[in-house]
A = this chain, B = another copy of it.
Amino acid sequence: MQVKAAIPITVADIKSACSQCNLLELCLPFGMTETEINRLDELVGTRRRIKRQQHLYRAGDPFEAIYAIRIGWFKTDVVLEDGREQVTGFQMTGEMLGLDGISTEAHSCNAIALEDSEVCVIAYDKLEELSRQVEGLQHQFHKVMSREIVRDHGVMMLLGSMRAEERLAAFLLNMSQRFAARGFASSEFHLRMTRDEIGSYLGLKLETVSRAFSKFQEEGLIAVQQKHVRLLDIQAMRQMIQHPAAIR
C-alpha cells in the first residue's frame, strides 16, 4: 500500500537553495551572513516530495540526513509493540526533521506527511563538516536542537500536569503562534491533523478532544468547523493555562 516516497527533483530546481529561499528567518540559515548562507547552498543538494500519508522516514531507517520542511506538514510518532501510537510532534514549514537519528545513527520515530509536502535534504556528514567551518551554521544548528529539547519539555508539562481543556488551549495557542511567525493569520487557520492525531499528541482520546472543541465553542472562545478554527478570545485561553479555573 505505502509507496516509498522519494521523488528526486530535477537539476533545474536545485538552483533555488537556501540563498533563494524565503524561509531564511525560520530555518537553519537564520542568523548567518550572506556569504555563509551561500556556502549552505552546497549542502542542500536535493529535495524530496512526500505525498500525504507517506513516510519521510521510519523508525529503524538508517540515519543519513536531516530535513528542512519547505512546503507542507508532518507528524512524528513512536509506536509501541502492542500498537499504541504516540504522536511526538507536528512540524510545519521551516522546521527541521530527523534530529532523533543522530544519536544511534538510525531514526527512532516515524515522520509522516499530513499533506503533500516537500523537504530539503541535508546530508548529515556534510552538515557536520560545514558547521566546523561556518560558525554561524554551527551555532544555529545547536540552537535548533536545543529548541527541540525545550519544546519537548513543554509537551511533558502539558502531558504530565495539565487537564484536557488546558492541553487543547495550549495546543491551539502554539499553532497560532507558529502561524504568526510565518506571516499567516494567527487567529484563523486550518488544522492538518485529525482529532485522533491531536488526541494522541495531547494524551487524550479523540472524543475528549472533540468535546473540548465543542466546549470552547459554546463558551465563545473559538469558532470551529471540522478542521477550520478561528480563535475568538486568545487572552482568555492564555489565562486558562496560567490560572486554571478549576479549584485546586
Interface residues of A (CB under 8 A from B): 76, 78, 80-82, 84-86, 88, 99-104, 108-109, 128, 131-133, 135, 138-139, 142-150, 152-157, 159-162, 200-203, 241-244, 248
Q: Which residues of B contact A99 (CB under 8 A)?
A: 145-146, 149
Taking A143-B103, A146-B99 as contacts, is the C-beta distance between A160 and B203 under 8 angstroms? yes
- Inter-chain CA distance A241–B193, complex, in Å, is 28
Known: A82-B244, A100-B150; 7 extra A-B contacts, CB below 8 A, are A86-B156, A99-B145, A103-B150, A142-B145, A145-B149, A152-B152, A160-B202
Main SS class of interface, A: helix
Q: Which residues of B contact A100 (CB under 8 A)?
A: 146, 149-150, 153
- A81, closest chain B residue (CB): B242
Q: Which residues of B contact A82 (CB under 8 A)?
A: 242-244, 248
- A241, closest chain B residue (CB): B80
- A127, closest chain B residue (CB): B142
Q: Which residues of B contact A149 (CB under 8 A)?
A: 99-100, 103, 145, 148-149, 152
* Assembly stoichiometry (copies): 2
- A129, closest chain B residue (CB): B135
- A125, closest chain B residue (CB): B139
Top 6 A-B pairs, shortest CB-CB distance: A102-B146, A160-B203, A152-B152, A159-B159, A103-B146, A103-B147
Shortest CB distance A157–B (Å): 4
- Inter-chain CA distance A100–B153, complex, in Å, is 9
A101, A135, A146: most-surrounded residue (chain B CB, <10 A): A146
**Residue from B132, B161, B201 in contact with A85 in the complex, judged by beta carbons closer than 8 Å:** B161
- A242, closest chain B residue (CB): B81
- Inter-chain CA distance A154–B84, complex, in Å, is 13
- Inter-chain CA distance A241–B145, complex, in Å, is 29
- Inter-chain CA distance A147–B128, complex, in Å, is 17
- Inter-chain CA distance A132–B108, complex, in Å, is 27
- A63, closest chain B residue (CB): B146
Q: Which residues of B contact A203 (CB under 8 A)?
A: 159-161
**Cβ A157 vs Cβ B103 within 8 A:** no
**Cβ B244 vs Cβ A109 within 8 A:** no
- Inter-chain CA distance A85–B157, complex, in Å, is 8
**Cβ A86 vs Cβ B157 within 8 A:** yes
